[in-house]
Amino acid sequence: MVHTLVICAHNDDQIVGAGATLAKDAAQGKTFKTVIFSYGELSHPHLKPDVVVQKRMKEGVKGDKLLGSKGTVFLELPEGKFLSQATKAKRALAKLIRKENPKRVFTHSPNDLHRDHQAVFSIVQSLRKSRVLTCAVYSFEVWTLLPVRQRKQHKLVVDVSNHFQKKMRAFFVHQSQIGSIISLTWKLYIMNRIDGLRYGFKFAEVFRRV
């Protein structure tokens, strides 16, 4: 049994969207595990897929452990083809959900621009509709440029002032994703800083109830 099950597309997504909250939970004795759909084998087209897989798998496990994860599961689905593999994904997730009985799930936002992130959200939603997943589900942002602010949507605001730096250390573990590091570092700092100021903290992560 875990407190939080994180379901994401690639091995750095959970750090971008929820890394500091996960680190805070672990520091408080709350367990979490991460489910990652793909190895991200298409992220380096100039390298052989098996080389990319090894790099990203090692980075994913290392970053997750740095946050305090109790386990990282790769579903090994082909990148960019999640919806065509939806049955396999649902079967694997259902098995994990029954085993871990999470109190909550973190996953991608439906507003994310990345199609793999949208596909993960869609699959998680189908598990909710079929009542396989019955706990609270919260979404986080990764590549959403302008998050949709819905006043009536329930939010989970987490003060991560003491854990933001650990989030960034875990993020920087993913050196094979230098492009994402360059693109997202400034966004992570600004986004978490602005959310912190909005709610009276130095840094905060904000999730929306699905």
Cα separation, 37 vs 9, in Å, equals: 5
The pLDDT value recorded for residue 51 is 73
Cα separation, 202 vs 198, in Å, equals: 9
The pLDDT value recorded for residue 47 is 55
Show the beta-strand stretches assigned E in the chain. Answer: 4-8, 32-36, 72-74, 104-108, 136-140, 155-159, 204-209
The pLDDT value recorded for residue 117 is 96
The pLDDT value recorded for residue 143 is 79
The pLDDT value recorded for residue 177 is 74
The pLDDT value recorded for residue 59 is 92
Q: For the chain, what is the total number of helices (H) and then of strands (E)?
A: 6, 7
pLDDT in 10s for each residue of the chain, 210 residues? 899 999 999 989 999 999 999 999 999 999 999 999 998 766 555 556 677 788 889 999 999 999 999 999 999 999 889 999 999 999 999 999 999 999 999 999 999 989 999 999 999 999 999 999 999 999 999 977 665 555 567 899 999 999 999 999 999 998 877 777 888 898 899 999 999 999 999 999 999 999
Give how far Cα 89 sits from Cα of 17, 39, 42, 76, Å: 21, 14, 19, 9
Rounded to 5°, angle at Cα 91 from 87 and 97: 140
Cα separation, 62 vs 16, in Å, equals: 15
Q: Which amino acid is at 76?
A: E
- Report the percent of the chain where pLDDT is more than 90: 75
204-209, strands of its sheet edge to edge:
72-74, 32-36, 4-8, 104-108, 136-140, 204-209, 155-159
Q: The whole model's pTM is what?
A: 0.91
The pLDDT value recorded for residue 151 is 56
Q: What would the pLDDT profile of 192-209 be if each residue is shown by its tens digit?
A: 999 999 999 999 999 999
How many CB atoms neighbour CB 116 within 10 A? 23
Please give the domain boundaries of the chain with CATH numbers for all domains: 4-209 (3.40.50.10320)
Tell me the two tokens of residue 172: 């920087």
The pLDDT value recorded for residue 148 is 56
